[in-house]
Amino acid sequence: MPALPGRALWRTRPYEKKSGSADELFDEYLGRIVGRVRKKESFEDILNQLNSDFRSLIDPELPRKPLVGINGEIFLRSNRFSNQELVRECEKAGLEVVVSSIGEWMKYIFYRHVEDAVRDRKFLKALISYIIKRVWERDEHKVIKHYESLVDMKEPSTEEVLRLTSEWLSPKCGSEAVLSIGTGVEWMENPKFAGVISVMPHGCMPGGIVAAMSEKFSALYRKPWINLTYDGFVESTNLTRINNFAEVLRFCSQETKEGA
């Protein structure tokens, strides 16, 4: 499932009129949605309000900041404690971010289940996995439609991600490297994105694969792509790299405006 209302929070918080208002609204919506899910009740009516409520917090006078995509190891990129508040640190540095959702990994798992079952001629398993995949995608689409005008972008499908990955790495690799390369390249090709940050635990082999290839992507698309490593200890090196990264993006953005 897409990171909702997380996506709305990331779009709103860097431009909020009143500091802290986006976090308060996020907590309110998250609590309301979780309450409905626990009761196994529809939350369609809640989603209908989300766009306008978050949009009302945005100061229209503030210019858009450089947009950065964050991908990498599935848990690390999603857990604020493990990544030491990476999203907030990027926002403090003057960036707007989008984080790849956990749903991206789930959809890839279903995709591989179908592919592997067909290869092994386990057609019942393939059918069940395909149905689960289609139900997930249907539910995802129902959620996305409520906030796509606020976020003004859509997540690429698994097939699109793997198509981009296949030029550089086999989609059957079976690790988050497959997804990080695909989404990273998609962001690099998208003019709305200014750069990419990939995160990995210390010694992570899939993360190492991405880091080894990212320099080539950065040179090819002429956009910065940095890789941050976390080992569970408090450190300042990543903060320095994030701030340097943000400074480079602001410089590139200024050069682009002057060139136009």
Mean pLDDT rounded to a whole number for the chain? 89
Residue 3 pLDDT class (50, 70, 90 cuts): low
For the cut 50, the answer to whether the pLDDT of residue 246 exceeds it is yes
Which residue, 192, 193, 196, is CA-closest to 179?
Answer: 196
The one-letter amino acid code at 25 reads: L
Helix residue spans in 120-204 (DSSP H): 123-144, 148-151, 158-165, 176-189
Q: Is the dihedral of CA 155, 108, 135, 1 positive or negative?
A: negative
The per-residue pLDDT for 175 is 85
Calpha distance 126→246 (Å, rounded): 45
State the greatest distance between any 2 C-alpha atoms of the chain, in Å, as a whole number: 59
Domain edges within the chain: 6-259
Residue 2 pLDDT class (50, 70, 90 cuts): very low
For the cut 50, the answer to whether the pLDDT of residue 188 exceeds it is yes
Q: Mind listing the pLDDT tens digit for each residue in 206-229?
A: 999 999 999 999 999 999 999 999
- 64: tokens are 């858009």
Q: Mind listing the pLDDT tens digit for each residue in 91-142?
A: 999 999 999 988 889 889 989 999 999 999 999 999 998 998 888 888 888 7
pTM over 0.85: yes
Considering only residues 13 and 142, tell me which one the structure prediction assigns the higher pLDDT: 13
